[in-house]
Amino acid sequence: MLQGENAITIDDKGRLAIPTGYREIVASEFGNRLVITYNPFETGSLYIYPYEAWERVRDGVNALPRVKQANRRLQLKLVGAAAIVEPDGNGRISIPASHRNAIGIEKKAVLLGMGDKFELWSEQAHRAQIETPLGDDDFGDDLVGLQL
The residue ranges of every structural domain in the chain are: 2-125
Q: Report pLDDT for 60.
A: 97
Q: Is the pLDDT of residue 7 over 90?
A: yes
Percent of the residues in the chain that have a pLDDT greater than 70, as a whole number:
97
Q: Among residues 99, 101, 87, which one has the least CA distance to residue 37?
A: 99
Q: Among residues 8, 20, 39, 19, which one has the least CA distance to residue 107?
A: 8
At 40-83, the pLDDT tens digits run 999 999 999 999 999 999 999 999 999 999 999 999 999 999 99
Highest CATH level, class, for 2-125: alpha beta
Distance CA(99)–CA(103), nearest Å, equals: 6
Q: Is the pLDDT of residue 145 over 90?
A: no
Instruction: Answer for the pair 39, 119: CB distance below 8 angstroms, yes or no.
Output: yes
At 124, the amino acid letter reads Q
